[in-house]
Amino acid sequence: MTPTYYTPNLNTPLVNKVICLFAGLLMVLLLAMLHGIVSALNPIIYLAVVITIGFGLLMGIFYRVISKIAKIRDQAFVFYSGVLIAVFGMFFSWGSYVLFLFEGGAYVATNYFASVGMLLQLNDLGLAFKTLYEEGGYEVFGFMVRGNALIAVWLMELGIVVSTAFKILRNYHVAPFSERYNKWYPKYTLLQEYQSMPNERWFLSQEGNSYVEKIDQLKPGRATRFGRISIFYLPHTSNAYLLYENVERDGNGKKEQSTPIIDKLLISGQEAKEIIERCHGKKNFFLDY
């Protein structure tokens, strides 16, 4: 049998991309407001690093969720637009921080979204940052952080947010998508842990005339190193896809690192249904595929 693999259709409708960007901007505006307020209230500059990492993590995770809901099949679009939104998020976080310092927390909480236009007036915002540059924006051990030291802090924040979002977004994997039904293929993970394999040829060379029979030939995996099989299956479709990953698990059984060996191999819908039923495939949560 000649193997065929899933190739995503990158022509995601423009309206889906617009919805994704719009929802992403709304999300990042809200997170930026909260980050700016928390940063202004935070009395410990070292804690600001943890807060900023959390800001970048939430932006990356939420944008991946939005991209999934918007049915974005273009992995590059999700990555580059997400990183750009992270940059905007840091900009609006600084704006929220400035508004809090000059207008107070009550003003930011009630007028932040109405003040977005004001934040885009770079001359006024620049004057506010100039004031902070000269008078200081953080206090460490009784000393105000100002001047070039303050710029270094802002650049560090930007670097943390963008790099954190970068790590989250680069792991956005496109699951098989049905253009006919306008749906993602649900992912089913088999409960059995199989032996790890050296390459796809090894699996394809196993005895059996069907993929169901080949899976039956596999031996159980080890506790810390094994193979995991997942099936992307959508009822009423003729095609389905098989994913085989080699998984390494640490001694505590908490951390896993997986490497795809067979990445979305085309199989028939009937075979997929039989594999799921015979091998007890468990349907994954929507955001897990």
CA–centroid distance for 72 within its chain: 13
Q: Which of 184, 207, 212 is nearest to 272 (CA)?
A: 212
Residue pointed to by tokens 């970068």: 166
Encoded tokens for 39:
């940063």
Question: Residue 62: in which H helix or E strand, if any?
Answer: helix 45-69
User: What per-residue confidence (pLDDT) applies to 252?
Assistant: 74
CA–centroid distance for 63 within its chain: 7
Angle at 127 between CA 123 and CA 133, to 5 degrees: 140
Mean pLDDT throughout 107-118?
61
Domain locations in the chain? 14-169, 179-288
Bridge pairing between strands 281-283 and 256-268: unpaired
In whole angstroms, give the CA distance from residue 203 to residue 206. 5
Task: Check residues 240 and 142 and name the one with the higher pLDDT.
Answer: 240
User: What per-residue confidence (pLDDT) applies to 186?
Assistant: 94
Percent of the chain whose pLDDT exceeds 90: 40
Radius of gyration of the chain from Cα atoms? Answer: 24
Q: What is the pLDDT of residues 42-88, one digit of tens each?
A: 766 677 788 899 999 999 999 999 999 999 999 899 999 999 999 98
Residues 6+ apart with CB under 8 A from 268: 238, 239, 240
User: What per-residue confidence (pLDDT) applies to 104?
Assistant: 65
Q: What is the pLDDT of residues 214-272, one digit of tens each?
A: 898 899 988 889 999 999 999 989 999 999 999 998 877 678 888 899 999 999 999 99
Predicted TM-score (pTM) above 0.85: no
